[in-house]
Amino acid sequence: MVSKRAFYFLFICVLSLHATTMYELSLKNLSTGSDMVVQAKVTAVVKQWNPQKNMIYTYVRMNIRDDLIGDDEDKEIIIKLAGGQIGQTKLFVEGMANYKVGEENMLFLFTDPKNLKAFQTLGMYQGKYELYLDENNVTRVRQSSSGHVKLVSREKGPIEKGNDLTLQEFKTKVLQYIHSAQKERKGE
Amino acid sequence: MKKLVIITILVQILSLSTAAYDFLGVKWPGKNPVVQYWFSEQGCEDVTDEWQYMHESFDVWCDVPSTAIDCQFMGMTEVNQVAKDDVQVLTFAKGNEWELGPNVIAACYIWSNSIKDIVEYDIIFNNKDFNWSSSGHPDKMDIGHIATHEVGHALGMDHSSVPGSVMWPTARLGDIANRVLHPDDSAGISALYPRTNNNNRAPVFVSNPVTDAIAGMKYTYDVNAIDHDGDGITYSLKVHPLNMRIDSLTGNIIWYPKFLDLHISHNVTVLATDEMGKSSEQHFQVTVTDLVVYTIDDTVDIGDTLYYEVFVTPMDEYGVLAGNIELNYNEDQMVILDVDTIGSIISGATSVHNITKDMVKFAFAGAEPFSGEGVLFRIKLLVFNEFCGRALTLPLKTAFFNDGIPVATTKDGTVFMPCGGGYQVDGKVLYSSNNRGVEAASLEIVELNKKVVSNKDGFFAFSDIPHSCLPYTVHTEKDSGDLRDAITAYDASFILRHVVGLHPLTTYDHQKASADANGNDMYTAYDAALILRYILEYDDGTEIGTWKMAPEDTTLKQVTGPMHNVIIKAYLVGDVSGNWRDNLGNTKRSSTPQIASVYKSPFEACDIVVKKDTLKGYKSMVSIKDVSKEVFAGQIELTFNSDKYTVHAVKPGPLLNGFLSMHNVKDDRVLIAYAGTVPITQDGDLMQVELRPVGAFIPGDTSLNSSLIDRCLVNEFKDQQISIKEPLIGARLVSTNITSIYPNPFIHTVAIEYLVKTQQQISLGIYDLRGRLLSMLVQESKKPGLYKVVWNGKTSYGMPISSQIFIVRFQSGKEAKNTKIYKIQ
């Protein structure tokens, strides 16, 4: 009986999977391709129908703790994701990251093309890194694991993701990539 | 059957043991789910054969023999957005249609109504950031490769752990291998939607049986059945007459009925059996007859005569010496010119005929029996022109041979006279009020399924229209849109003036209909209110903005030649003034004089009441000046910084007493509309806009003054006609006048603000409608500045006054102005 339950449990665990094909992004891709790179904490998650009542969006309200490119600390941002469940109706879009109130993340963001006041994560789940404490109480980061997508790789060999770096190491690396890209643009 | 079941079970066992393929956990419901799909018309910018590969991406999944799922193409659609709209579309997104960022290549949106059932999906391909290929280009994404994977998800498949399978979660540019399924994918879809005895569907017959046979002649019937599961079908005869055979693979039935079979109805039952052993039966009877006299459907051109031939099937066995045949016709449809036997199989026999008003009677007799098959005689006839395009039946009434035994069966024929044609039918769709051409109206000749679209002048032309003595129906319609600023508050003022009898809606045809905003055949102030709400972007689901044709269906009587200048009138619900397209281009605009200027004063600090608290906010007055014509209506759109301020109130100014006025706040815009029956003829204040700071109040905050009047209409003249002034110091000190009366109507007290431009004698008194002075509030010389006086609704002697209308008389120097105020209980 127990094993049967366990089987059903495992089976149910894979129910909310969906369908997206996208490029596999390295930490450098994320750092140089984002409009905004922030450390932020989730304060609210709201699911809403659009005014036409034909799309469900999930809006995540976050408070910025650290803004690596700009100077928007303590400000609020809204992350917009397609998908969510309202009542019995559910919309899946594979590759979207999940958010919980209270969790803290490093986020690589671009401005939503249809709502300039909202942002999306670059490469969907790939643009979200969760903060966690290791056994020595050191804060580290790890990419969100909800990426059941078909990844297309542009590069041969392993791709640097920055998983399990300490938060400080991670930020330092991201800033190095950003500054290098800025220098390249200036032709230095 | 057993074999398939065993394979299915093995597949399921393997799936559990190896965990290769996987499922999303949601699936299409039903025993034999049919997954529908549409293609968006806008297609892919990079290739021309994308649809072929998109079709194949569904076919490879649904053609797996052991799966019960079906895919059904529903057609092309204009839909190109992801939405829950019952249209499951595959679309290539361009520009802002793509919202998932630059690195995402394609996505499948899946809707479910519970954990188990998929109810809808859309697949969207990123054509904004990616180039697509259908030939495996090494630097591009292959349509078939990606689409097959995404369709797998749409069917409920998750990623597989088998490298090389379609559902394997990684890919490379230029890959095309996933256009076809890997065995793991086939096993997966079969396990998700297995076909079993419970959901296997029997073949369906799609051919109609041949029920007539002629003794001595070969009988054939090509049986055809289809199997919705894609199974092969075998045919057999369960019940059949002697010697009837069927080809088990092709279904072709062959039989040579004998004379012994004559006049007997023979029962036939055909079996069609699929690969799982499921059968369907088709039952019919074949009746064997002997000689058949028949005609062949024939055609005649306009003005031509037709040799209409009467045939007979082989009569070699019969020893026919003579016969007589009668055939009916309708003298209203044709005229019979002659009957002859030239070139017929009885041309050597003696023959006679008689043509009556509705019948052709023919008889022949010879010395030797006739043989063979062919024409017995022919009728020369002429069909009247007006019957072109119609099938005319010539029924064979009787056909006897020898002394009447055997009796021949007859089959009627028809005459069809094709019409002439190639005619052009053209005309214009014109706007009812001003006869301007209506562009992009869709017109269809219903009977011909011919469609055209009117051009910018409203001109349309149907070409190659066939001759017709019957009427054609031209159905005309136009999508909503193409409003061209035709619907304004000024239209609402028309309705209000109509309601009170000042301006009947009879200026042009359909003016009344255009005023019926909610389509209830009534023209009331409610329609005016709905128009104002429409302008303020409320969605009341009205017909405002809907194009109507008058009539929707235009009848073209006989088209027997070219037809020009067919006029179809159109109007737009909500455009009561009928000025659609008048305000386009430079002609009207450049010749229209400026009739007023609208401007706003700088925002200044003020007290605002929020519940019981009095807080600090900001106010600005939107005013009108230089009024040179009657102003019945107007619209104002004011933009402000919504991050810093919220709209607290929008209060009508004294000029709008008696006006229907509304406002709406949309994000960072304040939309204001007003309409009335008694026009504004003087300068003054229209609206006071009050804002509250989102954060703390900042005295002297000047950033507010960068808020703009973005859009402004006076009557129907666009903002370009109006000089909109940015806040100017002292802009309001343009004249000495009352600037605001608030609240109005009032219950206890009313505050009256007035401006004085130069030092002068001012008097401000309250009068009743009989002209009796109730209270003189101001009567003294005033220096330039802004003043406010409050009236408590009582006479100078402190006597309270009941609810009624009062006149505020404001006199500066020798000039006096009157304004109404209302006291309510």
What is the average pLDDT across B516-524? 86
Nearest alpha-carbon partner for B366 in B344, B341, B348: B348
Specify the range with the lowest mean pLDDT, choosing from B159-168, B188-197, B216-225, B700-709: B700-709
Is B541 within 8 Å of chain A by CB? no
Quick check: A154 and B173 CB within 8 A? yes
Residues in chain A with CB shorter than 8 Å from the CB of B88 are: none
CA angle, corner B557, sides to B552 and B562, nearest 5? 105
Number of domains in chain B: 5
Is A116 within 8 Å of chain B by CB? no
Distance of CA A188 to the CA centre of its chain: 32
Please check whether residues B15 and B91 belong to one and the same domain.
Answer: yes
Please check whether residues B265 and B346 belong to one and the same domain.
Answer: no
Residues in chain A with CB shorter than 8 Å from the CB of B148 are: none
B592 has a pLDDT exceeding 80: no
Best of B16, B22, B24, B642 to mutate (most A CBs within 10 Å, chain A): B24
Of B192, B213, B240, the domain-final residue: B192
To which residue do tokens 């069966």 refer?
Answer: B409
Please check whether residues B135 and B147 belong to one and the same domain.
Answer: yes
Query: What local confidence, expressed as pLDDT, does residue B9 receive?
Result: 32
Q: How sure is the predictor about B353, in pLDDT bands with cuts at 50, 70 and 90?
A: very high
Higher per-residue confidence, B598 vs B176: B176
Please check whether residues B34 and B131 belong to one and the same domain.
Answer: yes
CATH number at residue A48: 2.40.50.120
Residues in chain A with CB shorter than 8 Å from the CB of B23 are: 14
A positions 60-99 inside 8 Å of B (CB): 82-83, 88-95
The percentage of chain B sitting over the pLDDT mark of 90, rounded to a whole number, equals 29
- Give A56 to chain B, closest Cα distance, Å: 9
Q: Is A2 a member of any domain?
A: no
Quick check: B172 and A83 CB within 8 A? no
Please check whether residues B29 and B171 belong to one and the same domain.
Answer: yes
Q: Is A13 a member of any domain?
A: no
- Give B162 to chain A, closest Cα distance, Å: 13
Please check whether residues B57 and B161 belong to one and the same domain.
Answer: yes
Residues 6+ apart with CB under 8 A from B82: A55, A82, B89, B91, B109, B122, B124
What is the average pLDDT across B169-198? 88
Query: What local confidence, expressed as pLDDT, does residue B706 receive?
Result: 64
Each residue of B273-286: pLDDT tens digit? 998 889 999 999 99
How high is the ipTM of this complex?
0.77
Cross-chain CB nearest to A21 (options B96, B105, B112):
B105
Q: How sure is the predictor about B498, in pLDDT bands with cuts at 50, 70 and 90?
A: confident
Q: Is A5 a member of any domain?
A: no
Residues in chain B with CB shorter than 8 Å from the CB of A55 are: 82-84
Q: Is A84 a member of any domain?
A: yes
Q: Is B528 a member of any domain?
A: no
Quick check: A54 and B84 CB within 8 A? yes
Is B173 within 8 Å of chain A by CB? yes
What is the end-to-end Cα distance of chain A in Å, rounded?
Answer: 67
CATH number at residue B391: 2.60.40.680
Cross-chain CB nearest to B101 (options A18, A53, A120):
A120
Cβ atoms of residues A69 and A36 within 8 Å: yes
Distance of CA A164 to the CA centre of its chain: 15
Q: How sure is the predictor about B359, in pLDDT bands with cuts at 50, 70 and 90?
A: very high
- Give B116 to chain A, closest Cα distance, Å: 9
Residues 6+ apart with CB under 8 A from B118: B26, B27, B28, B29, B110, B111, B112, B154, B156
- Give A6 to chain B, closest Cα distance, Å: 14
Nearest alpha-carbon partner for B210 in B313, B284, B297: B284
Mean pLDDT of chain B: 83
- Give A134 to chain B, closest Cα distance, Å: 30
B812 has a pLDDT exceeding 60: yes
Q: Is B52 a member of any domain?
A: yes
A7 has a pLDDT exceeding 50: no
Residue-range definition of the domain harbouring residue A142 = 18-186
Cβ atoms of residues B598 and B724 within 8 Å: yes
Query: What local confidence, expressed as pLDDT, does residue A12 receive?
Result: 29
Query: What local confidence, expressed as pLDDT, does residue B728 receive?
Result: 37
What is the average pLDDT across A99-112? 93
Of B192, B219, B247, the domain-final residue: B192
Q: Is B251 a member of any domain?
A: yes
Residues in chain A with CB shorter than 8 Å from the CB of B108 are: 18-20, 93-94
Spell out where B170-264 has E strands.
Answer: 170-171, 204-205, 212-214, 219-222, 225-226, 234-239, 245-246, 252-255
Residues in chain B with CB shorter than 8 Å from the CB of A3 are: none
B434 has a pLDDT exceeding 60: yes
Best of A17, A29, A154 to mutate (most B CBs within 10 Å, chain B): A17
Q: Is B521 a member of any domain?
A: no
Each residue of B629-641: pLDDT tens digit? 788 888 888 888 8
Number of domains in chain A: 1
The percentage of chain B sitting over the pLDDT mark of 70, rounded to a whole number, equals 90
Please check whether residues B308 and B357 belong to one and the same domain.
Answer: yes
What is the average pLDDT across B241-259? 88
Q: Is A7 a member of any domain?
A: no
Please check whether residues B232 and B120 belong to one and the same domain.
Answer: no
Q: How sure is the predictor about B224, in pLDDT bands with cuts at 50, 70 and 90?
A: very high
Q: How sure is the predictor about B707, in pLDDT bands with cuts at 50, 70 and 90?
A: low
What is the average pLDDT across B654-673? 83
Higher per-residue confidence, B803 vs B42: B42
Residues in chain A with CB shorter than 8 Å from the CB of B24 are: 14-19, 92
Specify the range with the lowest mean pLDDT, choosing from B140-149, B372-381, B555-564, B723-732: B723-732
To which residue do tokens 């919220």 refer?
Answer: B646
Identity of the highest mean pLDDT range in A70-74, B208-212, B230-234, B648-652? B208-212
Query: What local confidence, expressed as pLDDT, does residue A14 receive?
Result: 26
Is B118 within 8 Å of chain A by CB? no
Quick check: B113 and A90 CB within 8 A? yes
3-state SS, residue A150: strand
Of B416, B431, B461, the domain-final residue: B416
Q: Is A75 a member of any domain?
A: yes
Q: Cis link prior to B65 (omega < 30° from 0)? A: no
Cross-chain CB nearest to A114 (options B99, B108, B109):
B99
Residues in chain A with CB shorter than 8 Å from the CB of B158 are: 14, 17, 148
Q: How sure is the predictor about A37, in pLDDT bands with cuts at 50, 70 and 90?
A: very high
Please check whether residues B17 and B85 belong to one and the same domain.
Answer: yes
Residues in chain A with CB shorter than 8 Å from the CB of B83 are: 52, 54-55
CATH number at residue B236: 2.60.40.10
**DSSP per-residue codes, B17-35:** HH--SEE-S-B--SSS-EE
Specify the range with the lowest mean pLDDT, choosing from A26-30, B355-359, B385-389, B817-821: B385-389
Cβ atoms of residues B674 and B660 within 8 Å: yes
CATH number at residue B164: 3.40.390.10
What is the average pLDDT across A136-161? 80
Q: Is A121 a member of any domain?
A: yes
What is the average pLDDT across B762-775? 87
Q: Are strands B298-299 and A76-82 parallel, antiparallel or unpaired?
A: unpaired
Please check whether residues B162 and B217 belong to one and the same domain.
Answer: no
Q: What strand order describes the sheet that includes B547-550?
A: B459-465, B423-431, B563-572, B547-550
Q: Is B462 a member of any domain?
A: no
Please check whether residues B49 and B152 belong to one and the same domain.
Answer: yes
B552 has a pLDDT exceeding 50: yes
A positions 148-177 inside 8 Å of B (CB): 148-154
Q: Is B352 a member of any domain?
A: yes
Q: Is A169 a member of any domain?
A: yes
Q: Is B529 a member of any domain?
A: no
Specify the range with the lowest mean pLDDT, choosing from A171-185, B436-450, B699-713: B699-713
Please check whether residues B118 and B187 belong to one and the same domain.
Answer: yes
Query: What local confidence, expressed as pLDDT, does residue A148 receive?
Result: 63
Residue A171: φ, ψ to 5°: -65, -40
Residue-range definition of the domain harbouring residue B185 = 2-192
